């Protein structure tokens, strides 16, 4: 669910179909996840002003605060871990960043 919140934060208000595609899950799965996130007050569905048949999901203020807190905790933890590395290990990690970025890059849109 944390990943879904991050996607919503990065990509802005999204339809359920758009969110499912980005997260690479089936629509019923994203519907279930969003139901849990709505129950906790972290996201809300808003009817699209241009097409009332479409709903978009966005973070609530509570969701934004929760996600910011998660990012802060994770950044602080990672900083502590990196400070403890010896120079050789840190050099190997820096060298691996390019590979990690390639592996985690979003897929380009499919050609028609």
Taking only the tens place, the pLDDT of each residue in 76-96 is: 999 999 999 999 999 999 889
* Distances, alpha carbon 71 to alpha carbons 36, 65, 88, in Å: 20, 10, 27
Domain boundaries, the chain: 2-104
In tens, the pLDDT along 16-50 reads 999 999 999 999 999 999 999 999 999 999 988 88
| Contact of 54 with 47, CB cutoff 8 Å | yes
The CATH architecture to which 2-104 belongs is: Orthogonal Bundle (1.10)
Angle between helices 27-39 and 2-11 (to 10 degrees): 90
Quote the pTM value.
0.72
Residue 109 has pLDDT above 70, yes or no: no
């Amino acid at each position: 669910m944390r990943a879904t919140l991050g996607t919503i934060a990065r990509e802005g208000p999204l339809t359920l179909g758009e969110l499912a595609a980005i997260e690479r899950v089936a629509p019923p799965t994203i519907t279930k996840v969003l139901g849990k996130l709505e129950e906790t007050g972290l996201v809300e569905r808003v009817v699209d002003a241009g097409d009332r048949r479409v709903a978009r999901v966005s973070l609530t203020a509570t969701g934004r605060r929760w996600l910011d807190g998660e990012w802060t905790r994770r950044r602080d933890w990672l900083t502590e871990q990196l400070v403890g590395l010896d120079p050789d290990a840190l050099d190997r990690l820096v060298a691996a960043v390019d590979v990690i970025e390639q592996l985690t890059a979003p897929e380009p849109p499919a050609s028609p």
